Amino acid sequence: MKIDVLLGLQWGDEGKGKVVDFLAPEYKVVARFQGGPNAGHTLEFDGIKHVLHQIPSGIFRPDIINIIGNGVVLDAVVLRREIEGLKKYGIDASKNLIISKKAQLILPTHRLMDAASEKAKGVSKIGSTLKGIGPTYADKIARQGLRVGDLLLPDFQKRYETLRDKHMNVLAFYNEPVELAEAEAAFFEAIEYIKQCRFADTEYLINNYIKEGKGILAEGAQGSLLDIDFGSYPYVTSSNTMAAGACTGLGIAPASVGEVYGIFKAYCTRVGSGPFPTELHDETGERMRKEGNEFGSTTGRPRRCGWMDLPALRYAIMLNGVTQLFMMKADVLNIFDEIKVCTHYKLPDGTTSEELPFDMDAVEVTPVYKTLPGWSQSLKGITKYDELPQALLDYVAYLEQQLNVPINIISTGPDRTQTIIRKKIKEII
């Protein structure tokens, strides 16, 4: 049995939570492999909207084991809040949640450093969610981070204080007033609380599950264009958001990866700073934002909106080895008479390119568009692929021809039920 990987191909917010929740019955295990509470995975069913930040999106299916992998950065306060929040829906998340002992802990001072660093950057700020992601991964790479397994050590308090004091020196450099008492108290309460969850060397568990033939779905966070190596650096998150990240973030060999599901919106959005060639600064962009309710599920910030960008999508498909595409939020385009797709870029020297330039931020790229007819009708009540309007079928066919990968799911609304399956995604496991 292989591990299937599901990830976002754009700048995040593609709708991964909905798809994981939808596919979960096909699997026995759902595992997050990177990122942290900067993610906001939204699931909607039975008229209720749920947003998960730390817990994998398989948590609503009672028989699924949910794993927070070693590649994740964990905020115990957020996790505690999330576990408590699920109780009112009759879910005891601590029962089927296993946390890697090697996942890194986000400390209160990581969040303060994130905020101080962003403030100091001024107009060049990344637009971080300010959840402490960058500073926590920086400590991991500097080999001084604290891990979930450290919580069980007798000298955890001392280790915490040593790192916190280093952070205080950094914060003093930024000259920021530091109010820590309340956040520190909440942190210590939360780490006691999360000890009710099972901590494990999850790489062993996962590799045993593979041997036993249990289906595993690796759930990515953010999107490929925010990847630390291949995203629009420095306007990126601090982890490897691509398929390779599933190997390092869970402890699996590349040969164990099976299907790679690439999730993309029928258009593009981006939250935070950084290059976005097809961004619309006009009324069309406004309409897209309103129709798609494009406001961050973690920060509430309005998302920047624009047309489909084929060079960017092709790049993400190439980096991830995507085997199946799932197109989300097709219904948001119902309101447009015409739909545009960027096929390539025009560069300042007059040449054209289908590749993303090294320094996207400094190089002014002009998107060149192909225009397709819109379908200008509601998709409500449509449950079969063949019943979709012809113009939407043509849009899908055009994208498939351009991308060379089948589009097997088309999402026509936020609810679980508003999902059109075109081809069998997976044999039932």
Residues tagged active-site: 13, 41
**Contact call for residues 279 and 311 (beta carbons, < 8 A):** no
Q: Which is nearer to ligand IMP, 71 or 149 (CB)?
A: 71
Using N-to-C axis directions, what is the helix angle for 181-194 and 108-121, rounded to 10°?
130
Q: How far is the CB of 337 from ligand IMP (least distance, A)?
A: 29
Residue 272 engages ligand IMP in binding (rule: CB under 6 A): yes
Q: Which is nearer to ligand IMP, 251 or 275 (CB)?
A: 275
In sequence order, the 6+-apart residues with CB closer than 8 A to the CB of 10 are 223, 224, 225, 264, 265, 268, 269, 270, 312, 313, 316
Measured CA angle at 389 (ends 385, 390), to 5 deg: 95
* Number of residues this chain uses to bind ligand IMP (CB under 6 A): 20
Position among 3, 12, 72, 278 found at the interface with ligand IMP (CB under 6 A): 12
Residue 73 engages ligand IMP in binding (rule: CB under 6 A): no
Among positions 132-171, residues that touch ligand IMP (CB under 6 A) are 133-134
Q: How far is the CB of 79 from ligand IMP (least distance, A)?
A: 16
Q: How far is the CB of 220 from ligand IMP (least distance, A)?
A: 10
Q: Which is nearer to ligand IMP, 106 or 308 (CB)?
A: 106
Residue 106 engages ligand IMP in binding (rule: CB under 6 A): no
Q: Which is nearer to ligand IMP, 13 or 21 (CB)?
A: 13
Q: How far is the CB of 163 from ligand IMP (least distance, A)?
A: 19
Residue 38 engages ligand IMP in binding (rule: CB under 6 A): yes
Give SS3 for 254.
helix
Rounded to a whole number, what is the largest CA-CA distance in the chain? Answer: 65
Annotate each residue in 226-265 with x if it binds ligand IMP (CB under 6 A) or - if it does not, as one string. Answer: x--------x-x----------------------------
Where are any strands of DSSP class E within 63-144? Answer: 65-68, 73-74, 97-100, 104-105
Q: Quick one: CA dihedral 424, 60, 292, 344, positive or negative?
A: negative
What whole-number distance in Å separates Cα of residue 399 and Cα of residue 387?
A: 19
Nearest to 28 by CA among 217, 268, 258, 240: 217
Q: Which is nearer to ligand IMP, 66 or 222 (CB)?
A: 222
Residue 131 engages ligand IMP in binding (rule: CB under 6 A): yes
* Burial group, residue 369, by CB count within 10 angstroms (0-12, 13-18, 19+): middle
Q: Which is nearer to ligand IMP, 76 or 126 (CB)?
A: 126
Q: How far is the CB of 269 from ligand IMP (least distance, A)?
A: 8
Give SS3 for 354.
coil
Give the interface with ligand IMP as residue ranges (CB under 6 A). 11-13, 38-40, 126-129, 131, 133-134, 221-222, 226, 235, 237, 271-272
